Amino acid sequence: MISFTQALKLGTTLPRTNRTHKIKLFNAHNTILSQDIFASRAIPAFDNSAMDGYAILLQDYDKTCINRGKILAGDNSTHITLTQGETYKVMTGSMLPQNTQAVIQIEMAQEQQGKVSFPSLKQPLHQGLNIRYKGEEIQADSLLLRKGKRLNHLDLSILASQGISETESFVPLKIGIFSSGDEVIEPHQHAKAYQIYNTNATSLYTLLASRGFACSYQGILQDDKLALHKKIESFQSFDVVITSGGASVGDADLIKQALLELGAKFIFDGVNVKPGRHLAIATLGDTIVILLPGNPLALLLHTHTLILPILESLQGGSAFYPKAFTFELDSDLNLKANTTSALLGIIEYSRFLPYNNGKIGSSSLATMWKNNAIALFDNPSQKPMSYAKGSAIKVIMYNADFCDIMDFFND
C-alpha cells in the first residue's frame, strides 16, 4: 500500500497520449490543445472609440470644432486624418481618424449647424480618453494559449477573434467503463431484496463525459473467471478501462487475479486513504486499467481527488491538480494518524461545514449527494491531527477546475 501522494505521482507520470486531430471550434469545447497558439492579429486590431462621441485633439476641447462627418463601426477611416479645429462623430467600436487624441462622449457635446462644442465636459481631459488602442488587450505574435490547455468557451472565443476556425487537439481518451458483481443489476431491471442497482456506471460515465473524455459503458463483469478472461481481452480496445468493484481482497473479487493471469502489471495496489483503501492501477499492454472500489461513495471520492487528475495528465493536460480554495472550518476536527483522510462537507458562504464531524465510514451515495466539497488531510505521523474551529483549510469543490501546482492538501 502506498500513500495518496505517491499514487498521484505515479499516475500522473504515466505516458501521455500523442494522438492529435484537427477539430472545428464549435466542437472543440473541453478538448486539450496539442500545440501552442500565437496571436496573428492584435486585439483591438485598430485604435477605436470606447463610446459614442466626438474625436478631437486635446488643444480643441475648449473650442468650437467643425464636424467633418460620421464614422460608424465597420467603416474604414484609415484615409482620414484629424487636424486642428476639426472633429468627427464616432460610434462605439468605430475606427478613429489618424491623430485622434481623445473621444468626448456624446452627452458632453453640443452640435449646431455642423459645429460642435463641449461646454458640459466634467471629467479631466487626457491623452487616450475613451480610446481603445490597437493591441492593448492582445499584442500580435504574443502567446495566446499553451499546449496542454483544456479549452473553455472563452478560449474558443479568443481563437475566433484571431480568425482561427479549427484547432489541433489531443484525441479524447477512449475510456471503457465496467461495473462488477453478481449482486449488481441495471436501473431498467427490477431489483430483488438482495440486489443493488448499478449507480457507479452512471456516476463515472456522466462525470467523465462532462470533462471531455470519450466514454463507453460496457456492462457488468460477472464473478466468473472464464467470463472475466473473455471480457478482459476486450480491454485493449480502450486507452483506459475503469472498473468499479473488484479492487478489494474478497474471495469473489476475481478481477485482479484474472488481470495478472493475462499479463497485467500493477503500478500500485492499495492507497493509504480513508475511506476506500482498495484502489489499484495496472497496465495491460497499452491500456491503463483502473480498479475502483464498489462502494459508491469511496468510488466518487477517489474519482474526484485522484482519478480525474490522472486522466487529465494522460489526456495531455498541462494543469491536472485539483484547484482548491480556502475556507473557514466550521467545527473542530480530529483526524486519524498515519493516513490521508478525505472529508465531505458543504461550502456555505466562507465556511466549510464537515459532514458528521468528519466521520464518513462506509456511508452511501446519498452522503456524497448531500454535500458539495471535499477536504483532504494528509497526516503521515503516528499522532492524530487536530484542527480547531475557525482554522483556514483548503477545500476541493465537486466541480473543481485544474491548476498546475499541487496545493490542495491540508497537512
pLDDT tens profile 198-222: 899 999 999 999 999 999 999 999 8
User: What does the alpha-carbon distance between residue 183 and residue 196 come to, in Å, rounded to a whole number?
Assistant: 6
| Residue 8 pLDDT | 96
First to last CA, the chain: 20
Confidence of residue 250 (pLDDT cuts 50, 70, 90): low
DSSP 113: T
Instruction: Identify the CA nearest to 207 among candidates 227, 177, 232, 179.
Output: 177
User: What does the alpha-carbon distance between residue 37 and residue 162 come to, in Å, rounded to a whole number?
Assistant: 10
Q: Which amino acid is at 61?
A: Y
User: What does the alpha-carbon distance between residue 14 and residue 9 come to, in Å, rounded to a whole number?
Assistant: 9
Give the pLDDT mean for 395-400.
95
pLDDT score of 251 more than 50: no
Confidence of residue 252 (pLDDT cuts 50, 70, 90): very low
| Residue 191 pLDDT | 85
At residue 195, what are phi and psi to the nearest 5 degrees?
Answer: -110, 160
| Residue 361 pLDDT | 64
pLDDT score of 410 more than 60: yes
Q: What is the pTM of this model?
A: 0.88
Confidence of residue 14 (pLDDT cuts 50, 70, 90): very high
Q: Catalogue all structural domains in the chain, each as residue range(s) with its CATH number.
A: 4-19+171-315 (3.40.980.10), 23-42+139-170 (3.90.105.10), 48-132 (2.170.190.11), 322-403 (2.40.340.10)
User: What does the alpha-carbon distance between residue 259 and residue 251 come to, in Å, rounded to a whole number?
Assistant: 15
pLDDT tens profile 274-300: 888 889 999 999 999 999 998 999 999
On whether the CB atoms of residues 27 and 299 are closer than 8 A, the answer is: no
| Residue 181 pLDDT | 80
Cis peptide before 97 (omega within 30 of 0): no
Instruction: Identify the CA nearest to 91 among candidates 138, 52, 143.
Output: 52
Of 30-34, 117-121, 241-245, which range is least confident? 117-121
